[in-house]
Amino acid sequence: GKSSGPAGKNLKLGCLAISERMVQWIKEGLTPLGYNVEIVMFDANQLPAVALKDGNVDGIIANHRQWMQTFNKENNCNLEMVQPYLFRSFYAIYSLKYKKVADIPQNAQIVIPGDPTNLSRSLIILREAGLITLKDKTGHFYTVLDIKDNPKKIKLIEAEITHTARSIQDADAVIATAYHISAKTKIDPRDVVFEDPQNKDYPLGLIVRSEDVNSAWVKEAVKIYRSEQYRAKFNEVYKGQYFLFD
Amino acid sequence: MITARNLTKSFGDTHVLRGLDVHIERGGIYGLAGRSGAGKSTLLRCINGLERYDSGSLIVDGIDVKTLSGKAMMAFRKNIGMVFQHFSLLERLNVYDNVALPLRCWKYKSAFIDRKVRDLLEIVGIPEKIRQRPRELSGGQKQRVAIARALTMDPHILLCDEATSALDPKTSKAIIDLLKQINGQMEITIVFVTHQMSVIRGLCKEIAIIENGKVAVSGTVEDVFRQQPGALKNLIGEGDAGPGGEGMKTITLLLPREIAGPLIARMAVQLGCDLTIQGGDPLLSGEDPEGLTISFPEKDRLGVEGYLAGHNVAWKDADTQNTRSSDRVDAYGKAYETQVPGIRPDLL
Amino acid sequence: MITARNLTKSFGDTHVLRGLDVHIERGGIYGLAGRSGAGKSTLLRCINGLERYDSGSLIVDGIDVKTLSGKAMMAFRKNIGMVFQHFSLLERLNVYDNVALPLRCWKYKSAFIDRKVRDLLEIVGIPEKIRQRPRELSGGQKQRVAIARALTMDPHILLCDEATSALDPKTSKAIIDLLKQINGQMEITIVFVTHQMSVIRGLCKEIAIIENGKVAVSGTVEDVFRQQPGALKNLIGEGDAGPGGEGMKTITLLLPREIAGPLIARMAVQLGCDLTIQGGDPLLSGEDPEGLTISFPEKDRLGVEGYLAGHNVAWKDADTQNTRSSDRVDAYGKAYETQVPGIRPDLL
Amino acid sequence: MIPDGYWAYWWRYFDGIIAPSIGATLRMLSVSMLFSFIGGFILAYFLILYGPQGLRPDRSKYRVLDFMVSSIRSFPIIILIVAISPITRMVVGTTIGERAAILPLTVAATPFMARIIENSLRGVDRQLIEAARSFGASDFQIIMKVMVKESVPMIVAGTTLATITYLAATTVAGAVGAGGLGAVALNYGYQSFNNTVLYTSVMILFIMVLIIQRVGDWLYKKIL
Amino acid sequence: MIPDGYWAYWWRYFDGIIAPSIGATLRMLSVSMLFSFIGGFILAYFLILYGPQGLRPDRSKYRVLDFMVSSIRSFPIIILIVAISPITRMVVGTTIGERAAILPLTVAATPFMARIIENSLRGVDRQLIEAARSFGASDFQIIMKVMVKESVPMIVAGTTLATITYLAATTVAGAVGAGGLGAVALNYGYQSFNNTVLYTSVMILFIMVLIIQRVGDWLYKKIL
Ligand SMILES: Nc1ncnc2c1ncn2[C@@H]1O[C@H](COP(=O)(O)OP(=O)(O)OP(=O)(O)O)[C@@H](O)[C@H]1O
Ligand SMILES: Nc1ncnc2c1ncn2[C@@H]1O[C@H](COP(=O)(O)OP(=O)(O)OP(=O)(O)O)[C@@H](O)[C@H]1O
Ligand SMILES: [Mg+2]
Ligand SMILES: [Mg+2]
């Protein structure tokens, strides 16, 4: 950091609505160690990463690693996700009407997240589920332009990520995270139509600038989120929604 | 038709009407005069209920205006046309649509509206401006549109607030003739607020002068102008130099009654003017006042003076107390002897 | 001061000014009259550059208005006050601020502004309305605010567009006296548009009547009213019944010249009226026209008729061709013999 | 400067993603502006009728209206979408897609339009209202034939303003899967690090704004 | 009905999250409205000066201004935030937080205010402008002392409208981590499916809207 560098033990940590608690617990752990931590909450988009890159915050828990790598490429920067990673989300196809992928009818409406990484990920889920096939990726992400075959003529509706779960009543199926599904609906998040096989490939965790990876506070932070206490709290709050890495 | 009793109306601290009484007969043309700010417009606006009055009563066509509201008020107003002092034309409608507006509101057939509007614009003399917007009209043209609009509904009562103030004399006369004509044909009651005395004299049958929020004088136009009460003088100023200088003039002939009487009679006939003999001048003499005091409309003053000068008769002006026509007249009784020879019996 | 040459101005198809020529002297009070819609307001607005004219020239104070713009135009207008026909007061400013506005724009000291504004409001007679908004004023009060505003800058030229139309006669007279006074004291040139003939006669020295976009008549007020040109008749209507009925009257005395001459002279003095001897009546006789034709202001008609009746003189009305005062007069030359005894030398 | 194949690349996005979203934007905008104009007009009618300086002042009725208008305006539009989603489902049958976005957009724009129209109507000279009263016009006629008539230019200018404001607001419609240029600019452009898409869609938005403004100004001038 | 401990739960969110965001909202709103009013006023001044029916019509200057105003208005605010972030960094020194949110909010609101003020000024009676011209007022004075003076009520009403509009828009400030009620409603409420927070913050927004509207109406009435 430039002005509010970790040397001064003043830290700014960025988060999203979903990760606010996780950062909060880290803050609670760092404070007794003499760190002065401020939490900045962002809407879900690339601004937390931009802020991190610019030195306006010192660490974020917001985006998954895949996205971070793209961001690095696009912005010629070196953000790094601290290992061990913290958690992963659980994506799946959910539906109120159908139990199996095979049941999904012709011309079905499937609501998928519209932001690029999740859209890309959703397209892969659909491909893995055998509903569509994809061409070669042209950009960083798959887009609907990359769909090659769509035998069931499935209609994809790109919505805001939380809205996918909200609209489950109105669609034939949605692609959503366990977190959103369990928060908004009474569905058991494990009651999936099709689980995303890539779930493990999208780790989330504390992202910092690469030069800070070995700094003292990061080490402390890792210690904190690897602690049993932290894990217990996490599992209590996000049980069945997000999954810690072992 | 319109009766106000003890009408009061204030705007905050400004007491505009303070117990005004007025009675306007059906079918009459009633003039309202008064100094600027006297409350004439306010009274008009009370009559058609645009302004609520504070106390007293105001009965129009048998109904107290204050009791009206909603549909009844609308129906009431339908029969009352009003020409506003500021015209109040809709800027975004052309002349045709402005005049047609009341008819449209009362859902007349469009063929009827068309005929009516064109007729009225013809009458007020601006048929060629039919498609113009108010902003493209001169002041007088706007006023005529306002007059036309007030007449569209064939109202029973027409309230005119200085409806000819922006018009040239000829157009003004044409409008006045029009008002007289519709008043005669259709028994419309017209209340006409104006500062133009000539309009009052030319148009109105009765008049009220508003002063201090009350009617200071009212009566027929002739009576008021003949008696020339203080309120009238307040309005048009002393002397006769003022614009539209009007009023009554009073003089005393400095002649024995037996001569003065026939002279006056003869003069009245020859001049065709309205002379009133008021009797002897109480100021002039003690027990047996001699001479005769007459009054006559201001407009006839020069005629009278010319006649008297022609007969070498001296007289005394009641307003100025100056004597005229003879330098040697210093007191009544000494003067007339020199005059009598000048009055040849064959001229009387 | 103000010279318009061949001025033209159209609004689209409406040709308002069509080659108007007018010359207004410095320090004069110039009346502009004309039928409603004649282009009076348009001319005024051209004079201070509010409206661009199409062709011709308009030189005000040595400068062609058309050449002005920006700062020069502002400085030019600073010296020209204008009373608008529609007052054009700012609704959201009170009377004080409305009148003070020009001074504020020219950055006068506030103590000066305060004194000036209060003085002016005193003069126009509405000091008690100083904190009122225009919406709370009567029509005449608004007009007086507009007059006060036009006077704040002590303009060299004052353009008044029907500036007394909403005022009662007394207030109107006071304003006119005020204008006369400032005209006398400060050499202000005043251009006064009005429909009130009495105002023109009471205020203006010269007058122009606009007809068909041109000046139909212009000259001193006396000349114009004496000659009573067609344009004047068009404006005020035929006859004298019209409001403010004005004009000139022409009659021929049915008397030999040697008697008529002294009679006329004497009459002029005694009536204090403006008689003009026009010469013999060419219609009356062949080779040697007898009798004298005189003309005099319409307002003196009754005086003259009274005087003539008093002297038993017969006359002939030029307009109506009727003879008056003697039933037996059928032709000139036979009548006067019976009259001559009636004219006693001691009365001449 | 421009690399080979750039236009093919551009065209691929334009044709596949941007072009359809133009239609979506226009449909959402025009339908929601139409309905919100009607709704706003009706609300403004009653606000003017019952307002404190209105034709028939009625404190309690005005309060209710004012309350309604203010309460809707206090919802950030994305939250409004959620808050009225049961109604949306009832009315439109779904809470996703273009048609589902139109209702919340309309609901959001209606009180805005109501205020715009109310403000315009409030500007009408009271003398004109009196003149209309003097010949017995009803309150309805006074509003429709006098106040509305006289303030049409103001209303046109206000509607232009509102239309441009809600053009940007259609971006939010992307949240419910309605697409539209704003959402494309956001998701396919900005978030996907794709400047081509980003600037193309912003450029198209800009052209739309210009056209709306020009049409509005032209109407204003024509109508004045 | 209300479960035990609900109020404690509510208080936890209110005290910890909602209450601080009220201050943030008020600060962002007031500062950005202040600056955008000033900026909008200046723009409106020139729009009115050079506009087609303006005091000193100048087609090309007007085009430039119109272009500027329209182009800013065509950016969805979230994209505007990104587009001007280099400027934000230069001016504010950071691109996150409350202070960094104020600049884009101001930039977004400025052309809106400009149009609001322009529309108000356009409504001024031309006769009054002429009257001012007749005593030699400069264009600046005509605009400031006549047009602005006369349209103050309209401008007040328009500013009320704009303030309420941008109160909702501060929601977007959440994107740059500036907090505020809208962001709380969105992040802690909507995205976290927490209806308590959602409706509490909307309720507070509603109260703010009511207050702004009341103050605006009161000013309007007082000033009329
Ligand atoms: N809305 C108002 N608020 C306060 N005072 C008012 C209001 N309307 C009128 N007045 C005052 O009431 C008085 C009477 O006004 P009104 O318009 O009736 O006069 P008027 O006789 O028509 O005068 P004018 O001949 O000048 O038109 C004036 O002194 C005026 O200032
Ligand atoms: N902006 C305009 N557009 C079109 N025609 C106009 C415009 N302004 C004035 N006119 C026309 O020009 C003519 C002259 O108008 P002007 O106002 O000069 O008349 P005026 O002599 O002042 O009449 P009045 O005595 O009635 O005030 C009128 O016929 C009017 O209709
Ligand atoms: Mg009046
Ligand atoms: Mg005029």
Mean pLDDT throughout B153-172? Answer: 91
pLDDT (tens digit, 9 = 90+) per residue, A83-138? 889 998 899 999 999 988 999 999 999 999 888 888 899 999 999 999 999 988 87
Strands A242-244 and A87-89: antiparallel
What are the phi and psi torsion angles at B36 (to 5°)?
-60, 130
Structure tokens at B233: 């003088």
Euclidean distance between CA atoms A122 and A116, whole angstroms = 10
Task: Give the pLDDT score at C186.
Answer: 83
- pLDDT for B334 equals 43
Q: Residue C345 class from Cβ within 10 Å (0-12 exposed, 13-18 middle, 19+ buried)?
A: exposed
Pairwise CA distance, residues D58 & E157, whole Å: 20
Per-residue pLDDT at B273:
65
Residue B224 has pLDDT above 90, yes or no: no
Highest mean pLDDT out of B175-179, B286-290, C243-247, C254-258: B175-179
- Which sequence spans correspond to the domains of chain E? 26-179
Q: Is the CB of C196 under 6 A from ligand 2?
A: no
Q: Which residues pair with A156 in a beta bridge?
A: A110
- Per-residue pLDDT of C154-180, as tens digits, reads 999 999 999 998 899 888 888 998 898
> How far is the C-alpha of C198 from the C-alpha of C140, rounded, in Å?
18
Give me C3's structure tokens: 């010279």
Decide whether any atom of ligand 2 lies within 6 Å of the C37 Cβ.
Answer: yes
Start-to-end CA distance of chain E, whole Å, equals 49
Instruction: Give the model confidence (pLDDT) of C186-204 as tens digits.
Output: 889 999 999 888 888 788 8
Nearest to E135 among C45, C78, C90 (CB): C78
Give residue for tokens 């509706």: A157
Question: C208 with C32: CB under 8 angstroms?
Answer: yes
What angle in degrees, to the nearest 10, is found between the helix axes of E149-169 and E195-223? 180
Any idea which residue has 């970790």 for tokens?
A6
Report the amino acid identity of residue A43: D
| C-alpha angle A197-A201-A205 in degrees, rounded to nearest 5 | 135
Q: Sign (positive/negative) of CA torsion B303, B308, B314, B318?
A: negative
Closest CB to E154 among D74, D115, D119: D119
Which residues, 6 or more positions from B307, have their beta carbon under 8 angstroms from its beta carbon?
A: B267, B270, B271, C306, C307, C309, C310
| Residues B326/B335, Cβ–Cβ less than 8 Å | yes
pTM: 0.83
Starting at the earlier edge strand, list the strands of the sheet with A109-113: A155-159, A109-113, A173-177, A91-94, A194-195
- CB within 8 Å of D148: residues ≥ 6 apart: D121, D155
Closest Cα to residue E78, out of A50, B117, B302?
A50
Short-list D172, A205, A89, CA closest to E186? D172
Count of alpha carbons within 13 angstroms of residue C266, beta-carbon side: 19
Residues at Cβ < 5 Å from ligand 3 ion = B 41, 85; C 138-139
Burial of A198 (0-12, 13-18, 19+ CB in 10 A): middle
Q: At what angle do helices D19-50 and D98-122 cross, to 10 degrees?
A: 40
Is the pLDDT confidence value at B343 over 50? yes
- State the smallest CA–CA distance between residue C21 and chain E in angstroms: 23
Q: Enter the ipTM.
A: 0.82
Nearest alpha-carbon partner for E187 in E13, E48, E6: E13
| pLDDT of A7 above 90 | no
CB C320 within 8 A of CB B315: no
D16: pLDDT strictly greater than 50: yes
3-class DSSP state for residue D33?
A: helix
The verdict on the CB of residue C213 being under 6 Å from ligand 2 is no
B175 sits in which H/E element: helix B169-186
Q: What is the pLDDT of residue B256?
A: 66
Whole-angstrom distance, CA of residue D159 vs CA of residue D137 = 27
Mean pLDDT of B76-86: 93
pLDDT tens digits for E55-73? 999 999 999 999 899 989 8
Q: What is the spatial distance between Cα C26 and Cα C23, in angstroms, rounded to a whole number?
A: 10
d(CA E28, CA E173): 9
Amino acid at B171: T
A to D CB pairs, distance under 8 Å: 74
Is the predicted pLDDT of residue B340 greater than 70, yes or no? no
The answer to whether residue D34 scores a pLDDT higher than 90 is yes
Q: Return the pLDDT at C137.
A: 93
CA of C32 to the centre of ligand 2 (A): 14
Q: A157: part of which helix (H) or strand (E)? A: strand A155-159
Distance C214 CA to ligand 2 centre (A): 14
| Residue of C308 and D80 predicted with greater confidence | D80
> A119, E191, A140: which is closest to D187 by C-alpha?
A119
Measured CA to CA, the distance from residue B245 to residue B318 in angstroms comes to 18
Neighbours of A210 (CB within 10 A): 11
Q: What is the mean pLDDT of chain E?
A: 89
Cα dist from A137 to A143, B115, B199, D5, whole Å: 8, 76, 93, 16
Q: What is residue C296's predicted lDDT score, i.e. its pLDDT?
A: 75
pLDDT beyond 60 at C230 = yes
Contact residues of ligand 1, CB 6 A cut-off? B 11, 14, 16, 34, 36-42, 85; C 129, 135-141, 166
* Phi, psi (deg, nearest 5) at residue C84: -80, 150
| Nearest-angstrom CA–CA distance, D66 and D59 | 10
How confident is the model at residue C320, as a pLDDT?
Answer: 61
Buried b (16+ CB within 10 A) or exposed e, E86-98: eebeeebebbbbb
Q: Which residues of B touch D130 (CB under 8 A)?
A: 45, 50, 84, 88
Which pLDDT tens digit goes with each residue over E162-203? 999 999 888 887 777 788 888 888 888 877 778 888 888 889
Q: Using omega within 30 degrees of 0 as the cis cutoff, is the peptide bond preceding B243 cis? A: no
Report d(CA E36, CA E23) in Å as an integer: 19
The size of chain E, in residues, is 224
Identify whether the C-beta of residue D147 lies closer than 8 Å to the C-beta of residue D129. Answer: yes
C18-57 pLDDT per residue, tens? 999 999 999 889 999 999 999 999 999 999 999 999 999 9
CB C278 within 8 A of CB C250: yes
The residue type at C310: G
Chain B, residues 26-65, CB within 8 A of chain D, namely: 45, 48, 50
Q: Which of E164, E218, E182 is nearest to E33 (CA)?
A: E164
Of B31-45, C326-340, E117-131, the range with the lowest mean pLDDT is C326-340
SS (H, E, C) B132-143: CCHHHCCHHHHH
Query: Residue C185 corresponds to which tokens in the numbers above?
Result: 């004291």
Q: Which residue's CA is the closest to the ligand 2 atom numbered 7?
A: B136
Which residue in the set D16, D176, D183 is minimally distant from A145, CB to CB?
D16
Quick count: other Cβ atoms within 10 Å of Cβ E59?
A: 10
How many whole angstroms separate alpha carbon D207 and alpha carbon D19?
Answer: 14
Residues 6+ apart with CB under 8 A from E5: none
- pLDDT confidence band for C246 (50 / 70 / 90): very low
CATH 1.10.3720.10 fits D26-179, yes or no: yes
In the DSSP assignment, the letter for residue C324 is: E
C-alpha closest to that of B98 among B74, B133, B140, B125: B133
Residue D37 has pLDDT above 70, yes or no: yes
What span, in angstroms and rounded, lies between the C-alpha atoms of B124 and B133? 17
Q: Indicate left, alpha or beta for B173 from its phi (over 0: left) and psi (-120 to 50: alpha).
A: alpha
Our separate counts of H helices and E strands in chain B read: 12, 15
